């Protein structure tokens, strides 16, 4: 989705604003949203890609004027409602009025430390051999899917060089719509600043992205 | 109770009961109440999650990795070849760091990490990302004018130094291995780690010089 | 500028919302802003391209969440202040506290009808011959100027066909920064939907844009 | 005074004096006061400008052009070859229409006009643009999914009809010449003009059928 989240190369935002001694959270509600998003993710009702998709599907103006955890909150509320886990009325009042829906699992307090220390790897075996090899020239496809994708607009149609082949990984475009992990080979592809931005690009500047195999085509 | 600002979150029916609660606090409280009451969220898990990311993970983990790489050439080699198991050797890893890649700065090439599409960041290595890392200006500009971005952070590189930007568009997570500062020959690993700033591991900063105030 | 104004191909905005029997203006202030922008434009302190540049230089989030005439208003206030015609304090209070600055001309009430009926043509003679001819294949350059440009992002780097040569016109990129009209040949270039958006583009769909000569390169 | 809502604009010192004035009204009033008092803006010119675009220009001008093109093949030919002087023949033109291009719909090709970068629109031919034309959804979508946009406007074209989008990225301004509806052989020019909707000249609509209510 070419939404408000696809920010690479946009202009007009002004300076970056680092904050000295920045706290981990800027308001009590931020840490609750963070924790709730993690805990609800652990129920297995959706996955990380679906959560990203929910965040980036906020209308672009709202996305760009909402704080980071406000985006998380709005997306989480949408997901909870869309999956029938709570009603709009319940979220508005904080009072439960409908029965709970079943969820696959509930994360227990004692599981947090071991589970999060282990992590949740995204690599998956892929039977077919990798289509591209390190050192090969490829082009990022011109695609504009209305749903979630991890190929940013600024590389589409641009030529680059495969600099790493990482093995099979969950494909976010299908996983985000709960249509399967459909793992694909994942690559690192490096683009020159000139190919991305033109002759006025800063000299000696390259950008590497991680690109799934179906995002790429060979350059003959 | 593991932390301080907690008591306002645990009554069942949130309502405005004091000026300290913002509309966002109330909205989130309502959400939390419903999700807990419906049994989707275990309050103990919520506490543990928040405590973990508020107090346990942070850039001190990454700093240990960097310092070890500075003193141990074998570790450095393993780290650059396959960062995830190398970091595990010293107990660094976990959620958001399942697939780590370390990019080493050299006199010829400086590395800079961004996530233009969201906020991907190596949590167990650097902690949760700062607001500026997640903000539109950084995400928009890092890939199109990285040298200008570095200048804004006070990092002036020689003209000839190439800048290599890593846009975290999948589940790989990046850490920059900064160059070891001059004049640190006599320092031990812990003293070296104290020189490693968070920004130096994102690429928007350089390590502190020895003797500089932290 | 890759700002909030460069909207072609973005997604996530939702449906278009036509308004039955839409009024010309939706609030009294809208018509005043419209008239003021026209009248101030007529002073010759800036030009139409500069006004477009002022509007699109609002931060993208603000641009996308401001109503149309609110964008005009904010841009006009900025221009008035930037050119020293009024102070921020004067605009905040509505009370004049600084002397007026000279302007090139003031539009009189009696001039409106004849001037606006005649219009303000933008075509200008260009001495050099046109570089491209109708039927020629060209590519829109990859450029990302930080200032005003009229080459939208969605055509950059894409191949198209010259379908009309329109003569010389004021070049907005220089004119917007009051650096001269620097007229150039203007073309209509037609792009296929597939070249712009990829294989999933709607079939039989083309987009024509007006492109200045310096936006284009020949395809060998 | 040429219009109705006017008296609130002509005192020198705007201040809140009634609930009918919004913050935006007050802000604009302050701007107007300053610009008028400093002599940059002649209030009579302001009135004339607003009156012109609120009451005089509008899609009736374009409808006259379309109706003439439907009944006069020579005019149609001149209009498609060089629209600006052709429109001038019947008194249509002026600011925002200095460089007109007319694109004729055919059974094979439908035309659609947009300005992705701002709000370019042929003022003297169609009046000021409606809000939807200037809005992000239309500007974003018209160039990437014009058929879906047309469907939202209730325009269902045959599969085989190509769609040609015109993005108004310079000072040329576009008007679509819709196809003359069937069953209009007996109608005179004025009756034909009454069938021509604004949207049919943008390309997001078709002319009314004869006898359909306007």
Q: Which CATH architecture has domain D61-202?
A: Alpha-Beta Complex (3.90)
| B214 assigned binding-site residue | no
What per-residue confidence (pLDDT) applies to D19?
56
In degrees, rounded to 5, the angle at the alpha carbon of residue C15 between the alpha carbons of residues C14 and C19 is: 135
Question: Which residue in this structure is represented by tokens 């690192």?
Answer: A188
**CB-based contact, A144 to chain D, within 8 Å:** yes
Beta strand ranges found along D60-167 (DSSP E): 100-104, 109-114, 162-167
Confidence at residue B11, expressed as pLDDT on a 0 to 100 scale? 36
**Known catalytic membership, residue D115:** yes
Residue D144: its chain A contacts at CB < 8 A? Answer: 144
Three-class HEC string of B96-110: CCCCEEEEECCCCEE
Which of B27, B33, B94 lies at the smallest CB-CB distance from A119? B94
Token pair listed for A114: 């071991």
Catalytic residues of B: 115, 118-120
Is it the case that residue D147 has pLDDT exceeding 60?
yes
- Give which of D70, D61, D58 is closest to D89, Cα–Cα: D61
d(CA C98, nearest CA chain A) in Å: 30
Residues 6+ apart with CB under 8 A from D45: C39, C42, C106, C107, C108, C109, C111, C112
The answer to whether the CB atoms of C24 and D170 lie below 8 A apart is: no
Q: Is residue D119 annotated as involved in ligand binding?
A: yes
The chain B residue lying nearest C60, using CA atoms, is B136
By Cβ distance, the residue of C3, C11, C14 closest to A11 is C3
Q: How far is C184 from chain B (nearest CA, A)?
A: 28
Q: Does A42 touch chain B (CB under 8 A)?
A: yes
Flag whether pLDDT at B10 surpasses 60: no
Query: Among B22, B38, B169, whose Cβ lies nearest the Cβ of A100?
Result: B38
Distance CA A211, CA B168 (A): 10
**Residue B150: CB partners within 8 Å, gap ≥ 6?**
B110, B112, B156, B157, B163, B203, B204
Nearest one of A111, D146, D50 to C201, comparing CA atoms: D146
- Read off the pLDDT of residues C95-147 as tens digits, 9 standing for 90 and up: 999 999 999 999 999 999 999 999 999 999 999 999 999 999 999 999 999 99
pLDDT digits (tens, 9 = 90+) for A6-63: 999 999 999 999 999 999 999 999 999 999 999 999 999 999 999 999 999 999 999 9
What would you report as the CA-atom Rg of chain B, rounded to the nearest whole angstrom?
20
Which chain C residues have a beta carbon less than 8 Å from that of A156? 198
Q: Is D22 annotated as a binding residue?
A: no
pLDDT in tens, D31-86: 999 999 999 999 999 999 999 999 999 999 999 999 999 999 999 999 999 999 99
Query: Do residues C185 and C215 lie in contact, with contact meaning Cβ atoms separated by under 8 Å?
Result: no
Show Cβ contacts of residue B158 under 8 Å, excluding neighbours closer than 6 positions: none
Task: Give the pLDDT confidence score for residue C182 in this predicted structure.
Answer: 98
Does the pLDDT at position B15 exceed 50? no
Q: Do chains D and B touch (3 or more CB pairs under 8 A)?
A: no
Q: CB of C144 within 8 Å of any CB in chain B? A: yes
Subunits touching C (CB < 8 Å, at least 3 pairs)?
A: A, B, D
> Cβ contacts (< 8 Å) between D49 and chain C: which residues?
34-35, 38-39, 112, 116
From chain A, the residues in CB contact with B25 under 8 A are: 27-29
For residue A212, the distance in angstroms to the closest alpha carbon of chain D comes to: 24
**Interatomic CA distance for residues A186 and A170, integer angstroms:** 9
Terminal Cα-to-Cα distance of chain C (whole angstroms): 28
Contact state of A12 with C196 under an 8 Å Cβ cutoff: no
Cα C168 from Cα C161, distance rounded (Å)? 19
What pTM was estimated for this model as a whole? Answer: 0.94
* Contact criterion met (CB below 8 Å) for A43 and B42: no
D3-27 per-position pLDDT tens digit: 333 333 333 334 444 457 899 999 9
- Confidence (pLDDT) at B182: 96
Q: Which residue of D has its CA nearest to A60?
A: D136
pLDDT computed for residue D103 by the predictor: 98
**Is the pLDDT assigned to residue B19 strictly greater than 90?**
no
**Contacts of residue A122 in chain B, CB cutoff 8 Å?**
98-99, 170-171
Q: Between chain A and chain B, are at least 3 CB pairs below 8 A?
A: yes
How far is A70 from A78, CA to CA, in rounded Å? 12
CA terminus-to-terminus distance, chain A = 28
Residue C210, SS3 per DSSP: strand
Flag whether residue A152 sits within 8 Å of chain D, measured between CB atoms: no
pLDDT band of C80, cuts 50, 70, 90: very high
* Lowest mean pLDDT segment, chosen from A192-206, B4-18, B60-74, C25-39: B4-18
Closest CA to A91 of B30, B60, B129: B30
Which residues of B are less than 8 Å from A103 in CB distance?
40
Find, in chain B, the residue whose alpha carbon is nearest to that of A109. Answer: B45
Cβ within 8 Å of D, C 181-210: 186, 188, 190, 196-197, 201-210
Distance of alpha carbon C144 from alpha carbon C151, whole angstroms: 9
- pLDDT category at D213 given cuts 50, 70, 90 is low
Reported as a single tens digit per residue, the pLDDT across A155-211 is 999 999 999 999 999 999 999 999 999 999 999 999 999 999 999 999 999 999 999
Two tokens, residue C5:
């104004």
Residue in D with minimal Cα distance to C121: D98
Rounded-to-integer distance, Cα C191 and Cα C206, Å: 6
By the CB < 8 Å criterion, does A60 face chain D?
A: yes
Q: Identify all chain C residues contacting D135, using CB atoms and an 8 Å cutoff.
A: 13, 16-17, 68
A87 and A97 Cβ atoms separated by less than 8 Å: yes
- Give contacts of A85 with chain B, Cβ < 8 Å: 35, 38, 40
Nearest CA in chain D to C94: D30
- Tell me whether residue B19 is annotated as binding: no
Please give the pLDDT value at position A18: 96
In chain C the domains, ranked by start, together with CATH numbers, are: 28-118 (1.10.472.20), 137-218 (2.30.30.50)
DSSP A179: S
Contacts 24+ apart (CB under 8 A), D188-195: D189/D64, D189/D67, D189/D68, D189/D71, D190/D67, D192/D66, D192/D67, D192/D70, D192/D71, D193/D60, D193/D63, D193/D64, D193/D66, D193/D67, D194/D63
Sheet of C205-212, strands arranged across: C216-218, C137-140, C159-169, C184-192, C205-212, D162-167, D109-114
Percent of chain D with pLDDT over 90: 88
Percent of the residues in chain B that have a pLDDT greater than 70, as a whole number: 89
Segment B159-171, tens digit of pLDDT? 999 999 999 999 9
**Which listed residue (D19, D22, D33, D115) is catalytic?**
D115
User: How many other CB atoms sit within 10 Å of the CB of residue D144?
Assistant: 25
Q: Are C62 and A65 within 8 A, CB to CB?
A: yes
**Domains in chain D: boundaries:** 23-56, 61-202
For this structure, is D118 an active site residue?
A: yes
- B171 to A9, B94, D152, D160: CA distances (angstroms): 22, 13, 38, 43
- Give D113-131 pLDDT, tens digit per residue: 999 999 999 999 999 999 9
| Mean pLDDT over the full length of chain B | 91
DSSP one-letter code for A123: B
Verify whether the Cβ–Cβ distance A60 to D136 is below 8 Å: yes
The pLDDT confidence band at residue B21, using thresholds 50, 70 and 90, is confident
Strand, coil or helix: B111: strand
Q: Are residues B95 and A116, on separate chains, in Cβ contact within 8 Å?
A: yes
Q: What is the pLDDT of residue A220?
A: 87
Of A34, A40, A110, which is closest to B40 when you measure between CB atoms? Answer: A40
What is chain C's mean pLDDT, rounded?
A: 97
Q: What is the pLDDT of residue B14?
A: 40
Cβ pair C61:B136 closer than 8 A:
yes
Residue B3 has pLDDT above 70, yes or no: no
């Amino acid at each position: 989705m070419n939404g408000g989240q696809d920010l690479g190369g946009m202009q007009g935002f002004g300076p970056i604003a680092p904050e000295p001694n920045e706290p981990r959270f800027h308001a009590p509600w931020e840490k609750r949203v963070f924790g709730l998003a993690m805990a609800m993710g652990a129920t297995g009702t959706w996955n990380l890609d679906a959560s990203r998709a929910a965040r980036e599907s906020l209308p672009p103006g709202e996305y760009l004027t909402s704080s980071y955890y406000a985006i998380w909150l709005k997306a989480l509320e949408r997901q909870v409602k869309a999956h029938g886990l709570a009603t709009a009325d319940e979220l508005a009042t904080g009072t439960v009025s409908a029965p709970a829906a079943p969820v696959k699992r509930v994360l227990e307090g004692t599981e947090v430390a071991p589970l999060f220390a282990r992590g949740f790897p995204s690599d998956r075996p892929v039977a077919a051999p990798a289509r591209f090899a390190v050192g090969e020239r490829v082009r990022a496809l011109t695609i504009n899917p209305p749903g979630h994708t991890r190929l940013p607009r600024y590389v589409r149609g641009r030529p680059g060089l495969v600099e790493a082949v990482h093995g099979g990984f969950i494909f976010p475009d299908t996983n985000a719509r709960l249509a399967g992990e459909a793992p694909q080979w994942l690559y690192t592809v490096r683009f020159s600043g000139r190919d991305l931005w033109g002759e006025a690009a800063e000299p000696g500047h390259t950008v590497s992205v991680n690109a799934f195999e179906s995002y790429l085509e060979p350059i003959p | 109770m593991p932390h301080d600002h907690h008591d306002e979150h645990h009554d069942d029916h949130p309502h405005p009961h004091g000026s300290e609660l913002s509309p966002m606090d109330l909205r989130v409280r309502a959400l939390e109440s419903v999700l807990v009451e419906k049994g989707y969220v275990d309050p103990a898990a919520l506490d543990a999650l928040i405590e973990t990311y508020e107090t346990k993970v942070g850039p001190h983990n990454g700093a240990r990795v960097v310092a070890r790489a500075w003193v141990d050439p074998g570790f450095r080699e393993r780290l650059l070849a396959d960062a995830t198991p190398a970091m595990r050797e010293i107990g660094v890893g976990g959620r958001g760091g399942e697939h780590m890649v370390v990019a080493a700065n050299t006199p010829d090439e400086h590395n800079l990490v961004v996530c233009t599409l969201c906020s991907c960041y190596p949590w167990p290595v650097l902690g949760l990302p700062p607001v500026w890392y997640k903000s539109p200006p950084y995400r928009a500009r890092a890939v199109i004018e990285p040298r200008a971005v570095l200048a804004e952070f006070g990092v002036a590189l020689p003209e000839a130094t190439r800048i290599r930007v890593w846009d975290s568009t999948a589940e790989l997570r990046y850490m920059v291995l900064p160059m070891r500062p001059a004049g640190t020959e006599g320092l031990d690993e812990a003293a070296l780690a104290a020189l490693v700033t968070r920004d130096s591991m994102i690429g928007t900063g350089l390590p502190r010089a020895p003797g500089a105030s932290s």
